[in-house]
Amino acid sequence: MTIRALVFDAYGTLYDVQSVLAKAEALCPGKGEVITQIWRLKQLEYTWLRSLLQEYEDFWLVTRAALDFALQAAEVEPNDAICGPLMENYLHLDPYPEASEALAALDGRKLAILSNGSPKMLQELVRNSGLDRWIHATISIDSVRAYKPHRACYALVGPVLEVPKQDVLFVSSNSFDVVGAKAFGFEAAWIRRSAVAGPATMFGMLRGRAEELGHAPDHTVSALTDLPRLL
């Protein structure tokens, strides 16, 4: 295949959304793990509902609404002392350990992020993590006021990178995102990370399986560092 650009999802692909767990546990002892899992599941659900309802709010507000839900589900009353640090943590998520190595190995091609994150969230996250050294463009869906997997989101890539969609490899660990990218016409690689054991098993079972919607990924790998061999 001729790949001129690689476009990465951010949350769950380059950045570990579960890295909020330590902060959640410190603020809500004994409940950090369940709060973390519900928060992420509800965050994704709210993006889809916002798109279907055509009642767009940016990802920061969606993330806060999902956090409020998760806290109340765990019988914790949301307040600034808890929500403030947890929301701030979303601007300092840990990159996956192999992210820097993988991006460095891919240097020379156009590398970009396409994410549900608002422009401010993404700019701060990429800068704080140091991945801005390799990422040429950070593209937010905010301008189309719809969330992935809406086709309008993936259509943002072409005008920014000036690369036809058949020359783009889209990379995501979120199986619904892979479906959206593949349906749009990108080559798609799914990062299928091993499921997490323990209380997060339900989350791992849901996010560690391909969707039953057709549009299978072209490639399935277990880590970002597997990508260079595909090229």
Select which of 9, 16, 58, 142 is catalytic: 9
Cα distances (angstroms) measured from residue 97 to each of 14, 49, 58, 135, 148: 9, 32, 28, 16, 25
Q: Give the whole-angstrom CA distance, residue 30 versus residue 35.
A: 10
Q: Is 9 a catalytic residue?
A: yes
Please compute, for residue 143, the number of CA atoms within 13 A of its CA located in the half-sphere on the CB side: 14
Q: Are 220 and 193 in contact (CB under 8 A)?
A: no
Catalytic center residues: 9
